[in-house]
Amino acid sequence: MNHLNSSFLDRYRHKNGTYKLKAVVKEMGKKDKNRLLYYINDKKLSFGSLFILIPEIDALDLYKQLSIRNITALKIFAKVTEDKELEEKAGLDTSETKDNMYPAMKWMIDTGYYDDGLNDKFDEVLDAAASQLIKTYQDKTVLPAVAEMIFKRNRKGRFTHDLIWAFFESRDPYTLEIIARYLRSSNKKDVELASDLLRCNLSEEGIHLMQPKSYSSYHSWLKENFSFIYFSGESFQQTSHPSPWKVDLSRKYLCQDLRTQNKKLTRPLAAEELNDRLEHFKQLKDEDKILLSQYSYKMHKKNIRLWDKWMKYPLSKQLEMAKKGLGGDIE
């Protein structure tokens, strides 16, 4: 956290610790409540500090004088942790705060992720806010912060299950780029987790796996497959080795971009002939599909004229040529 841009209460906490912050707030509440409210309602205050000060806010009964952002954050906290007493004390009806939910949640993540790990309830609220922002509000800007929380927790063996799920629920391949950065981490646990999360099942049977070995090799792989990957919805609740993103080998074989969640083509199939070809391709063994799709992609990239010619060959001939090697004779 950039302490130069932080609020007075955050600076005080980071310099003197939580215990002294609570003591000074208690004291200020007795002597100068307005000044204390000015500090608590400061736009630069972090969610972590607000969370820490809930008992003091309660003791001084400051709920009605809190800013909309703060009171909404407390409402969200109360709802997620099922704290009925706090929900009642916070006072506002849910409908009155609904429009303020998004900015409050965004603030909770943007400023709260630094304090991730304060305690279990705090983390639970961050998980819920992240999940809502990503899935309901489709906010992609929080993804780097959410990734940071995932890896930070993983280093300490803390709960990552829901956060990993929420992260990939953005259904945006950008998530892969964010995770790939952790392949370059000097921390072994970061690299292991990144490698796990980026692993990709290339076949329906799950026996052809792409396991990233390094950032550069993964980067090359992603560059090659970016146009053909789609969101699968797999998570650790479902399988040991989820592949949240999978490669559509048929589309790669036909070199057709696939950039939507529901496997719709961004451009239509050119001809009936290609449809037939696709049907035959789907009957192939997985290893042959992988080989042909790679061969097709590379040739398309290298020489589209030759690729057009190659696509007219029957599948058996294409396969024979591909088996000779990716750089084989294509004339």
Partner 1 sequence: MIMVSDKPFDTGTINEYAERSIERMILNKMSLSEEQYVFDTASQLKFELRLRKEIINASYQLSKSRMSFQVFRKSKCNEQYWNRTDEGGFVLKEGVKASEAINDIFRNGFKYGTECATAMIIIYYKALLSVFPREVFDSLFSQIHLMNWHYLDSLIQEAGYMRKPKEYLPGDRRYFINPDVDPLTPYWQGENVIDLNNGLYYGHGIGIHKAETIIAVLNQKRKEGAEVSAYLLETVGRPDFKKLEAVYNQSVR
Which residues would be at the binding site for partner 1 (CB under 8 A)? 80, 120, 124, 127-128, 131-132, 134-136, 156-162, 165-166, 169, 204-206, 233-241
Nearest CB to partner 1, comparing residues 173 and 233: 233
Query: Minimum CB separation from partner 1 for residue 132, in Å?
Result: 5
Residue 58 CA, distance from chain mean position: 34
Nearest CB to partner 1, comparing residues 240 and 316: 240
CA dist 271 and 250 (Å) reads 15
Nearest CB to partner 1, comparing residues 105 and 311: 105
Query: Minimum CB separation from partner 1 for residue 233, in Å?
Result: 6
Query: Minimum CB separation from partner 1 for residue 179, in Å?
Result: 16
Decide: helix, strand or coil at residue 200: strand
**Contact present, 93 and 127 (Cβ < 8 Å):** no
Nearest CB to partner 1, comparing residues 283 and 316: 283
Nearest CB to partner 1, comparing residues 136 and 211: 136
Strands 200-201 and 229-231: unpaired
Query: Minimum CB separation from partner 1 for residue 236, in Å?
Result: 5
Q: What is the DSSP string of 84-121?
A: HHHHHHH---HHHHHHHHHHHHHHHHHHHGGGTTS-HH
The token duo for 157 is 């063996």
Residue spans of alpha helices (H) in the chain: 8-16, 18-31, 33-40, 47-52, 54-59, 68-80, 84-90, 94-112, 120-131, 143-155, 161-168, 174-180, 188-198, 215-225, 249-253, 272-283, 286-302, 304-311, 315-324
Nearest CB to partner 1, comparing residues 207 and 304: 207
Bridge partners of 200?
A: 210
Query: Minimum CB separation from partner 1 for residue 137, in Å?
Result: 10
Query: Minimum CB separation from partner 1 for residue 239, in Å?
Result: 5
